Amino acid sequence: MTGPLLVTGGSGLLGSAVRELHPQGVFLGSEDGDLRRLDVAKALLEKIGPSKVLHLAGLVGGVKANAAQNSRFLEDNMLINTSVLSAARALRIPRLVSILSTCAFPMFSDRATTEDDLQAALPYDGSAGYGYAKRMLDLHTRLAVKDEGLAWTTLTPVTMYGPHDSFHSEHAHVIGSLIRRCWSAKTTGTPYVVWGSGRAVRQFVLARDVARVALDALDRHCEPTTTIIAADSGITIHSLAEAIADVMAYSGPIVFDRTQPEGVLIKRVQSACFASRFPGFQFTDLKNGLAETVRWFLKHASSAETASATPLCGAFADRNDHV
Ligand SMILES: NC(=O)c1ccc[n+]([C@@H]2O[C@H](COP(=O)([O-])OP(=O)(O)OC[C@H]3O[C@@H](n4cnc5c(N)ncnc54)[C@H](OP(=O)(O)O)[C@@H]3O)[C@@H](O)[C@H]2O)c1
């Protein structure tokens, strides 16, 4: 099958990273069509005629937004995923890679979660709608592979960051919001405030690294079961805040606001199959990734609070509560 690579969610954080590596693809944002609608998904796929699909579109938010609108996260993501996979199945698109989330997985206090745990226990209640939509995306992928012999798979990155992220102080993911807050503290003399105790442990991966894995996955035979993408075993929010201060040459105080939520204290995943499926892959070190992200922020987003926020951020506030 000939035809371009089609990227749904092509205007988002990960889609922008894919575009930099593979600009000849076709990149769709929500203004190109509402993928919650099957007729729209079918029409777009028929018109574009892709040979491969990288399905990134989704309604993405943090703990507060998910908890407040769990049913909307379930509905929108179920509709988007079902429409895209159903349209791609009808057209027998041979290669399709979708993105799950660690929110689909249960977390354990005494060990890291692996791919085998996906259906082992309930996911975190506060994002159950988003998490179950991702579980259904995993199931839909595996069934399409089994029924139709298509070479589809899914990837599960930990929290992504990088250029093109949102840097809103309240609505961005944790790294984007901390960069914004640190920059504001440095330039205005106001406190560098970090939500929560700082003890929460989170894992981060540069969006470009995930984009490299995703493009590779489209070109090689992958098992239909998901692959977790985690660059390391994680960092406390306290250490992350200090690392950002270091990169931004901020030497003032860091204030931890314990009245704000920080989600599950320890959220740790580990892939049982990444090394064998993507041998030799080298992740970008967090410090270098932060330095690159800060450079991009200073060039593109530092002057306007909402300069790089996605439209969804306005509707789904509080993404920085350590998803
Ligand atoms: N960010 C993370 O840390 C993270 C971690 C694990 C997994 N993921 C998953 O990775 C994928 C990409 O995440 P991201 O951070 O790049 O997301 P993002 O920046 O929030 O971008 C979401 C994309 O989906 C599009 N979209 C949303 N609703 C749509 C609709 N109804 N119809 C068509 N397009 C729609 C958006 O288009 P507009 O921009 O035009 O609205 C945008 O291009 C998502 O599936 C997400 O669940 C993300």
d(CA 241, CA 246): 9
**Whether CATH 3.40.50.720 fits 5-318:** yes
pLDDT reported for residue 139: 98
On the question of pLDDT at 321 being above 90, the answer is: no
Mean pLDDT over 245-269 rounds to 92
Residue 157 Cα: closest atom of ligand 1: 6
* 3-state DSSP assignment of residue 229: strand
pLDDT reported for residue 305: 58
Query: Which residue among 7, 32, 60 has the greatest number of ligand 1 atoms within 8 angstroms of its CB, and so is best to mutate?
Result: 60
d(CA 322, CA 63): 7
On the question of pLDDT at 43 being above 50, the answer is: yes
Burial class (CB in 10 A: 0-12, 13-18, 19+), 146: exposed
The partner residues of 202 in beta bridges, in order of sequence, read: 235
Mean pLDDT over 56-67 rounds to 88
Q: Which of 59-73, 133-147, 304-318 has the lowest mean pLDDT?
A: 304-318
- Give the pLDDT confidence of 151-184 residue by residue, as tens digits: 999 999 999 999 999 998 777 889 999 999 999 9
Pairing label, strands 5-8, 95-99: unpaired
pLDDT reported for residue 316: 30
Would you say the CB of residue 56 lies under 6 angstroms from ligand 1? yes
pLDDT reported for residue 182: 97
Mean pLDDT score across all residues of the chain = 92
d(CA 83, CA 139): 14
Considering Cα of 216, then 59, then 162, then 205, what sign does the dihedral take? negative
Contact 155, 18 (CB under 8 A): no
On the question of pLDDT at 319 being above 80, the answer is: no
Would you say the CB of residue 311 lies under 6 angstroms from ligand 1? yes
Q: What are phi and psi of 179, to 5 degrees?
A: -60, -45
